[in-house]
Chain A
Amino acid sequence: MRKSSSDRDNRIIFVLSVIGVLIAIYVLQSFLRQTSIVCINTGCEVVRKSPSSYIFGIPVPTFGLVGYSIIALLAFLRTMSSNKKLLLGILAVSTFGILFVSWFTLTEIFIIGAICTWCAVSALNMMVIFSFTLKSYINTIGKLL
Chain B
Amino acid sequence: MKITAETKLFIGIFISILAIFGVAFFLSSLPEPTVSKDELIPKATLSATGSATATTYLVEFSDFQCPACRAFSPIVDRIVKTNQDKIYFVYRHFPLLQHPFGKKAAQAAIAASKQGKFWEMHDFLFDNQDGLSDDLLNDAIQILGLGKEQFTKDFESNETQELISQDMLDGGRFGVNATPTFFLNGKKLNLAGPEELKSLVENEITK
Contacts and interface: CB of A to CB of B under 8 A. Distances in A.
A36 interface: yes
B97 interface: no
Contact of B68 (A11, A38, A42, A79): A42
A37 B192 contact: yes
Contact of A45 (B9, B13, B71, B193): B193
Interface size class of A (residues with CB under 8 A): 20 to 34
B7 A79 contact: yes
B2 A22 contact: no
Contacts of B68: 42
A22 B21 contact: yes
A76 B192 contact: no
A19 B17 contact: yes
Per DSSP, are chain B's interface residues mostly helix, strand or loop, or mixed?
A: helix
Interface string A39-55: 10010111000000000
Nearest to A77: B1
Among B10, B28, B191, B193, the one with the most A-chain Cβ atoms within 10 Å of its Cβ is B10
A7 B4 CA distance: 12
Interface in A26-74: 36-39, 42, 44-46
A45 B10 contact: no
A45 B197 CA distance: 14
A21 B180 CA distance: 31
10 contacts: A11-B10, A14-B14, A15-B13, A22-B18, A38-B28, A42-B68, A42-B192, A45-B192, A45-B193, A79-B7
